[in-house]
Amino acid sequence: MEILLDVCKVQPLPDFQLLLEFENSEKRTFDMKPLLQTKPFNRLKDPLMFSRAKIDYGTVVWPGNIDIAPETLYEDSIPC
């Protein structure tokens, strides 16, 4: 069953991890490293660019029209 929850907060962490808080107050950690080998996420290999993550329309976005679906963030993350 697919869970549709908006991301409310994001904090970039070392080693290309994202600390996420979802609208249900659940905190989870998402590992971006596997995605950094694919477009457009390969542009986030620069730690400075990766650190520019922010929330827009319920998901995580970066400059340059890079975003990731909130359901992917939830389903592929681990609870904190």
Domains of the chain, by residue range, sit at 7-79
Question: What pTM did the predictor assign?
Answer: 0.93
CATH topology of domain 7-79: NE0471 N-terminal domain-like (3.30.2020)
Supply the pLDDT for residue 3. Answer: 63
Instruction: Give residue 2's region: left, alpha or beta (phi > 0; psi -120 to 50).
Output: beta
Q: Number of H helices and number of E strands within the chain?
A: 2, 7
Distance from C-alpha of 38 to C-alpha of 58, rounded to nearest angstrom: 23
Report the 10 Å Cβ neighbour count for 29.
14
> Which letter does DSSP use for residue 73 in this model?
H
pLDDT at 2 over 80: no
Rg (CA), the chain: 12
